[in-house]
Chains A and B, each alone.
Chain A
Amino acid sequence: MPQAIDFQKLLTLLTFDRHDPLLFGSSLFLFFFLFVLIVQRLFSNQKALRIYSLLFFSLFFYYKAAGIYLFLLVFSSGFNFYFGKLIYTRKTAFQKKIVFIIALLVNLGLLGYFKYTNFFLQILSDLKLGTIEPLQIFLPIGISFFTFKALSYVIEIYMEMLEPVKSFRDFSLFIFFFPNVLMGPIDRASAFLPQIEEDNPITKEDVGRALFLISCGLIKKYAIADYISLNFNERVLDYPLRFTGVENLIAVYGAALQGYCDFSGYTDMALGVGLLLGYKLMDNFNRPFKAISVADYWRRWHLSLSTWLLGYVFKPLQISLRSLRKFGTAIAIFVTFFAVGLWHGPNWTFIFFGVLHSFFLIFGMFTQSIRKTITDKLKITGTKFHHFIKWFFTFHLLVLTAILFHSPSLQYTINMIQQIFTYFHPEVFPQFVQAYTTVFILIVFGYLVHFLPASVEEKAQNLVIKMPIVFQAILFAVIIWIVVQFKSAAMMPFIYFKF
């Protein structure tokens, strides 16, 4: 006999639960997304209904993660749509500037209130300037991402790089769009809005590419990031002094890979889900661990954020301080990377991470000619050996600073580095491989795939695109089966959700 539907349970599933957002990869998301696709298909010839239904589903998706703070998202959309127009229609540069500053203050003020109030109260308290109890402030998930997305719209209008969009409906879809509302990519209005206007049909190539991206995302997140985190990284990161230096070093490599697979896995899934809905989102990664300098790394990692800060913070500052030449650039780098750290959250480890990266870049800038002279004298400039040395140093700087993202506090990071340099014990390595064989294989596999030439990924993607749909379905089923084998009973939230 068919079982009756438990409406109470269904209602609970569909109600806001801050600990249970609609994670890509969860079975509830799968049902939700299938339903969204069916509705989109039903309205394939009615653009307006397709967009309105997508707005509704996006709002539901956000409600499931943030509850009543859904209104903050709606406010952000309404406010920035109106202020975009207001900036554009002002007659004088002065008026434009005033309206723009108000828009900036409101956007950053809201972000600051929800994200940083307690951090500043804590600083005041630490500096003995007063003891104020921390406030009960709920952090609306994704606020850093959608605020920056909305800000790009008003900034580009102010910079006269974009004209305001006429339709509030279309602008709202840009802000609410569920594949990127919680964790990016931080898409630009100038790239997203024309896609709504053009309304291009979804091609077979889009479907193949989406399946490839979603498969990669699932493997990265659930088979690599979560597995190595739960089974090894966390244990070392939580108690670095209980492990030898060699294990700490492997955890350093593992945590960097975990961070990359977690975030780029989410981005892959977001891109794939977006493609299946007919929208191309901005890519966020270009093999960051292949970087041969810290500057190169920022051209490969979290591109939607780094290009945002480059275009709207670094360049304006650098230009306004140009009379100071290199020192002006150094100040612009410092401010930009302080913002990178702060954007990630109200935590000293993040700020320290940003400041450290700014020092690497400033140091690189001031020593550029000295380094060139040295490598010229050694006759290694531009050689493969030179490339390797640059990569080796960059890679280790990156993985060591990445620990700041995973450690509970600065002290834990210091402990890990101390263990590596003072208690290395390489003889433990075979025992580690024996005890954590799967973890070891996954770390090696993750890095191997990462360092493969980009052409290999392209070929694999084209292979999936050209496959008959039946084979694509079989392949996707196999990927899901693999992921289920790895997936732990308790799902791990995506690391970047907290930002």
Chain B
Amino acid sequence: MISDRLKEVILKELELKEYDLKDETIASEVPGWDSLNHINIILAIEKAYGIKFKGLEILKAKNIGDLQKLIDSKNPL
């Protein structure tokens, strides 16, 4: 389940008003989420949650659900 907070960070970075982000949504499906914006989104998430990802962790995330799990594992509360 994607948290509202993560949705907000992603949509704000992509300048999207509304988009239904689900666990199985992949980056290329979301308007504007290309390889250049990918980095901005990762940086925005790191800043919003005050966490730091390892390169391999991000590469392994196949969809937004994986990204959410990764954030949860770093920020259990």
Contacts and interface: CB of A to CB of B under 8 A. Distances in A.
B77 to A, nearest CB: 25
Nearest to A324: B39
A320 B35 contact: no
Contacts of A325: 39-40, 43
Interface string A273-308: 000000000000000000000000000000000000
A159 B39 contact: no
A134 interface: no
A328 B55 contact: no
Interface stretch (B7-15, B18-26, B56-64, B68-76): B56-64
A319 B42 contact: yes
Nearest to B38: A318
A314 interface: yes
B42 to A, nearest CB: 6
A190 B56 CA distance: 18
Contacts of A161: 60
A365 interface: yes
A329 B36 contact: yes
Interface string B25-51: 000000000011011101100000000
Given A326-B36, A329-B36, A159 B59 contact: yes
Interface string A152-171: 00000001110000000000
Interface size of A as a range: 10 to 19
A316 interface: yes
A319 B35 contact: no
A319 B58 contact: yes
Given A316-B55, A319-B55, A159 B60 contact: yes
Contact of B35 (A316, A318, A323): A318
Contacts of A85: none
A329 B42 CA distance: 13
A322 interface: yes
A45 B44 CA distance: 56
B49 to A, nearest CB: 15
A318 B59 contact: no
B55 A320 contact: yes
Nearest to B57: A319
A318 B56 CA distance: 12
A315 B60 CA distance: 11
A160 B30 CA distance: 25
Contact of B42 (A159, A316, A322, A365): A322
A319 B39 contact: yes
A315 B36 contact: no
Contacts of A326: 36
Contacts of B56: 159-160
Contacts of B40: 325
A6 to B, nearest CB: 57
Contacts of A320: 55
B59 A316 contact: yes
Contacts of B55: 316, 319-320
Contact of A314 (B35, B58, B60): B35
A326 B43 CA distance: 12
Contacts of A323: 43
Given A315-B35, A326-B36, A160 B42 contact: no
A322 B59 contact: no
B59 A319 contact: yes
Contacts of A328: 39
A160 B62 CA distance: 12
Contacts of B60: 159-161
Nearest to A317: B55
A325 B46 CA distance: 14
Contacts of B36: 326, 329, 365
A310 B28 CA distance: 14
A204 to B, nearest CB: 33
Nearest to A315: B59
B35 A322 contact: no
A310 B40 CA distance: 18
B59 A329 contact: no
Nearest to A312: B59
29 contacts: A159-B56, A159-B59, A160-B56, A160-B60, A161-B60, A310-B35, A314-B35, A315-B35, A315-B59, A316-B55, A316-B59, A318-B35, A318-B38, A318-B39, A319-B39, A319-B42, A319-B55, A319-B58, A319-B59, A322-B42, A322-B43, A323-B43, A325-B40, A325-B43, A328-B39, A329-B35, A329-B36, A329-B39, A365-B36
Given A159-B56, A161-B60, A316-B59, 13 more contacts: A159-B59, A160-B56, A315-B35, A316-B55, A318-B35, A319-B55, A319-B58, A319-B59, A322-B39, A322-B42, A322-B43, A326-B36, A365-B36
